[in-house]
Amino acid sequence: MKIAVVYSSITGNTESLAKTIKGVISKDELVYFGSPQENIEADLYFIGSWTDKGCCSEEMKSFVSTLKNKKIAYFQTAGFGESEVYFKRLFDNVMKLFDSSNEIVGSYFCQGKMPQSVKDRYLMMLEKNPEDERIIASLENFEKAKTHPDQEDLNRLSSWVLTILKNV
Ligand SMILES: Cc1cc2nc3c(=O)[nH]c(=O)nc-3n(C[C@H](O)[C@H](O)[C@H](O)COP(=O)(O)O)c2cc1C
Protein backbone atom coordinates (compact mmCIF):
# COMPACT_ATOMS: atom_id res chain seq x y z
CA MET A 1 0.00 0.00 0.00
CA LYS A 2 1.23 3.50 -0.88
CA ILE A 3 0.79 5.95 1.99
CA ALA A 4 1.18 9.75 2.03
CA VAL A 5 1.39 11.98 5.10
CA VAL A 6 0.38 15.49 4.09
CA TYR A 7 0.28 18.16 6.75
CA SER A 8 0.09 21.87 7.42
CA SER A 9 1.85 23.23 10.49
CA ILE A 10 3.07 26.70 11.44
CA THR A 11 4.52 26.30 14.92
CA GLY A 12 5.31 22.57 14.88
CA ASN A 13 2.45 20.92 16.83
CA THR A 14 0.83 19.26 13.83
CA GLU A 15 4.27 18.47 12.45
CA SER A 16 5.11 16.52 15.59
CA LEU A 17 1.93 14.48 15.04
CA ALA A 18 2.92 13.94 11.40
CA LYS A 19 6.38 12.74 12.46
CA THR A 20 4.83 10.31 14.93
CA ILE A 21 2.60 8.93 12.17
CA LYS A 22 5.65 8.60 9.91
CA GLY A 23 7.37 6.61 12.64
CA VAL A 24 4.56 4.04 12.68
CA ILE A 25 4.31 3.57 8.91
CA SER A 26 6.73 1.18 7.22
CA LYS A 27 9.40 2.97 5.14
CA ASP A 28 8.51 0.91 2.06
CA GLU A 29 4.94 2.16 2.12
CA LEU A 30 5.57 5.87 2.70
CA VAL A 31 5.56 7.62 -0.68
CA TYR A 32 5.20 11.23 0.51
CA PHE A 33 5.79 13.20 3.71
CA GLY A 34 5.39 16.96 3.70
CA SER A 35 3.22 19.96 3.05
CA PRO A 36 0.34 19.95 0.56
CA GLN A 37 1.35 19.92 -3.08
CA GLU A 38 -0.05 18.72 -6.38
CA ASN A 39 0.21 15.19 -7.76
CA ILE A 40 0.70 13.16 -4.61
CA GLU A 41 -0.41 9.65 -5.55
CA ALA A 42 -1.17 7.23 -2.74
CA ASP A 43 -3.72 4.63 -1.63
CA LEU A 44 -4.09 6.07 1.83
CA TYR A 45 -3.60 9.69 2.89
CA PHE A 46 -2.93 10.83 6.43
CA ILE A 47 -3.95 14.48 6.22
CA GLY A 48 -3.35 16.90 9.07
CA SER A 49 -3.69 20.58 9.86
CA TRP A 50 -3.59 23.15 12.60
CA THR A 51 -6.90 24.81 13.42
CA ASP A 52 -7.43 28.18 11.80
CA LYS A 53 -10.62 30.01 12.73
CA GLY A 54 -12.64 26.88 13.40
CA CYS A 55 -11.45 24.97 10.35
CA CYS A 56 -8.16 23.79 8.83
CA SER A 57 -5.48 26.03 7.30
CA GLU A 58 -6.09 27.80 4.00
CA GLU A 59 -3.42 25.71 2.20
CA MET A 60 -5.10 22.55 3.47
CA LYS A 61 -8.52 23.79 2.38
CA SER A 62 -7.21 24.14 -1.18
CA PHE A 63 -5.49 20.77 -1.09
CA VAL A 64 -8.36 18.67 0.26
CA SER A 65 -10.82 20.15 -2.20
CA THR A 66 -8.79 18.58 -5.05
CA LEU A 67 -9.02 15.01 -3.69
CA LYS A 68 -11.37 12.47 -5.21
CA ASN A 69 -11.91 8.75 -4.54
CA LYS A 70 -9.23 8.62 -1.84
CA LYS A 71 -8.99 6.89 1.52
CA ILE A 72 -8.33 9.55 4.14
CA ALA A 73 -7.34 9.46 7.79
CA TYR A 74 -7.64 12.99 9.14
CA PHE A 75 -5.77 14.57 12.08
CA GLN A 76 -5.73 18.06 13.56
CA THR A 77 -4.36 20.06 16.49
CA ALA A 78 -6.40 22.85 18.09
CA GLY A 79 -5.65 25.48 20.69
CA PHE A 80 -8.85 24.62 22.48
CA GLY A 81 -9.35 21.07 23.65
CA GLU A 82 -10.73 18.80 26.30
CA SER A 83 -14.07 18.75 24.55
CA GLU A 84 -15.08 16.05 22.11
CA VAL A 85 -18.02 18.26 21.14
CA TYR A 86 -15.61 21.00 20.06
CA PHE A 87 -13.39 18.57 18.16
CA LYS A 88 -16.49 17.14 16.44
CA ARG A 89 -17.51 20.63 15.34
CA LEU A 90 -14.05 21.22 13.86
CA PHE A 91 -14.15 17.82 12.16
CA ASP A 92 -17.57 18.55 10.64
CA ASN A 93 -16.32 21.91 9.33
CA VAL A 94 -13.34 20.27 7.64
CA MET A 95 -15.37 17.37 6.26
CA LYS A 96 -17.56 19.80 4.33
CA LEU A 97 -14.49 20.56 2.19
CA PHE A 98 -14.03 16.97 0.98
CA ASP A 99 -15.68 15.60 -2.12
CA SER A 100 -18.18 12.88 -1.20
CA SER A 101 -16.30 10.32 -3.35
CA ASN A 102 -13.57 10.18 -0.67
CA GLU A 103 -13.71 7.66 2.16
CA ILE A 104 -12.83 9.04 5.60
CA VAL A 105 -11.37 6.08 7.48
CA GLY A 106 -10.78 7.85 10.79
CA SER A 107 -9.99 11.08 12.57
CA TYR A 108 -7.75 12.18 15.42
CA PHE A 109 -7.77 15.48 17.30
CA CYS A 110 -5.71 16.83 20.17
CA GLN A 111 -4.79 20.12 21.76
CA GLY A 112 -1.75 22.13 20.62
CA LYS A 113 0.07 24.94 22.39
CA MET A 114 -0.42 28.47 21.13
CA PRO A 115 2.10 31.27 20.60
CA GLN A 116 2.76 33.84 23.36
CA SER A 117 1.15 36.53 21.16
CA VAL A 118 -2.22 34.87 21.79
CA LYS A 119 -1.76 35.16 25.56
CA ASP A 120 -0.64 38.79 25.21
CA ARG A 121 -3.83 39.54 23.30
CA TYR A 122 -5.97 37.91 26.01
CA LEU A 123 -4.13 39.92 28.68
CA MET A 124 -4.79 43.16 26.83
CA MET A 125 -8.47 42.22 26.52
CA LEU A 126 -8.59 41.38 30.23
CA GLU A 127 -7.17 44.77 31.13
CA LYS A 128 -10.17 46.38 29.44
CA ASN A 129 -12.69 43.86 30.84
CA PRO A 130 -11.24 42.37 34.06
CA GLU A 131 -14.43 40.45 34.92
CA ASP A 132 -14.92 38.83 31.51
CA GLU A 133 -15.38 35.10 32.18
CA ARG A 134 -14.65 34.11 28.58
CA ILE A 135 -11.26 35.83 28.58
CA ILE A 136 -10.42 34.26 31.95
CA ALA A 137 -11.39 30.82 30.58
CA SER A 138 -9.30 31.44 27.47
CA LEU A 139 -6.27 32.29 29.61
CA GLU A 140 -6.79 29.10 31.64
CA ASN A 141 -7.05 27.14 28.42
CA PHE A 142 -3.85 28.77 27.13
CA GLU A 143 -1.99 27.37 30.15
CA LYS A 144 -3.52 23.90 29.68
CA ALA A 145 -2.56 23.87 26.01
CA LYS A 146 1.08 24.69 26.81
CA THR A 147 2.16 21.08 27.24
CA HIS A 148 0.35 19.67 24.18
CA PRO A 149 0.81 17.65 22.15
CA ASP A 150 2.27 15.61 25.02
CA GLN A 151 3.52 12.03 25.13
CA GLU A 152 0.05 10.71 25.93
CA ASP A 153 -1.38 12.50 22.86
CA LEU A 154 1.35 10.92 20.73
CA ASN A 155 0.84 7.44 22.21
CA ARG A 156 -2.88 7.70 21.54
CA LEU A 157 -2.04 8.85 18.00
CA SER A 158 0.25 5.85 17.38
CA SER A 159 -2.53 3.47 18.46
CA TRP A 160 -4.94 5.28 16.17
CA VAL A 161 -2.55 4.89 13.22
CA LEU A 162 -2.11 1.16 13.90
CA THR A 163 -5.89 0.71 14.00
CA ILE A 164 -6.26 2.55 10.68
CA LEU A 165 -3.52 0.44 9.05
CA LYS A 166 -5.14 -2.76 10.28
CA ASN A 167 -8.57 -1.83 8.96
CA VAL A 168 -7.94 -0.31 5.53
C1 LIG B 1 -4.31 32.69 13.40
C2 LIG B 1 -4.65 31.54 14.31
C3 LIG B 1 -5.96 31.08 14.37
C4 LIG B 1 -6.29 30.03 15.24
N5 LIG B 1 -7.58 29.62 15.31
C6 LIG B 1 -7.92 28.65 16.18
C7 LIG B 1 -9.28 28.24 16.32
O8 LIG B 1 -10.19 28.74 15.68
N9 LIG B 1 -9.55 27.25 17.21
C10 LIG B 1 -8.57 26.63 17.95
O11 LIG B 1 -8.89 25.73 18.75
N12 LIG B 1 -7.27 26.98 17.83
C13 LIG B 1 -6.93 27.97 16.97
N14 LIG B 1 -5.61 28.33 16.83
C15 LIG B 1 -4.57 27.57 17.58
C16 LIG B 1 -3.76 26.61 16.69
O17 LIG B 1 -4.58 25.90 15.79
C18 LIG B 1 -3.03 25.58 17.56
O19 LIG B 1 -2.13 26.22 18.43
C20 LIG B 1 -2.31 24.53 16.70
O21 LIG B 1 -1.90 23.46 17.50
C22 LIG B 1 -1.10 25.10 15.96
O23 LIG B 1 -0.57 24.06 15.19
P24 LIG B 1 0.87 24.11 14.50
O25 LIG B 1 1.89 24.19 15.62
O26 LIG B 1 0.96 22.83 13.75
O27 LIG B 1 0.92 25.32 13.62
C28 LIG B 1 -5.27 29.39 16.01
C29 LIG B 1 -3.94 29.86 15.92
C30 LIG B 1 -3.63 30.92 15.09
C31 LIG B 1 -2.19 31.40 15.03
- Segment 24-76, tens digit of pLDDT: 999 999 999 999 999 999 999 999 999 999 999 999 999 999 999 999 999 99
Please give the number of the atom of ligand 1 that sits closest to the Cα of 148. Answer: 21
d(CA 102, CA 38): 17
Mean of the pLDDT values across residues 1-19?
A: 98
The conformation of residue 55, written as its DSSP 8-state character, comes to B
Three-state DSSP class for 97? Answer: coil
- Segment 145-157, tens digit of pLDDT: 999 999 999 999 9
Clarify whether residues 108 and 53 are in a common domain: yes
Identify the pLDDT of residue 93.
98
Clarify whether residues 100 and 138 are in a common domain: no
Identify the pLDDT of residue 82.
78
Clarify whether residues 92 and 64 are in a common domain: yes
Clarify whether residues 153 and 119 are in a common domain: no
Clarify whether residues 92 and 102 are in a common domain: yes
Clarify whether residues 39 and 118 are in a common domain: no
Clarify whether residues 139 and 92 are in a common domain: no
Q: Is the CB of 78 under 6 A from ligand 1?
A: yes
Q: Is the CB of 8 under 6 A from ligand 1?
A: no
Please give the number of the atom of ligand 1 that sits closest to the Cα of 55. Answer: 8
Mean of the pLDDT values across residues 83-104?
A: 97
Is residue 108 over pLDDT 90?
yes
- Segment 116-150, tens digit of pLDDT: 999 999 999 999 999 999 999 999 999 999 999 99
Range of the domain at 30: 3-113+148-167
Clarify whether residues 26 and 95 are in a common domain: yes
Please give the number of the atom of ligand 1 that sits closest to the Cα of 16. Answer: 26
Clarify whether residues 67 and 39 are in a common domain: yes
CATH number of 38's domain: 3.40.50.360
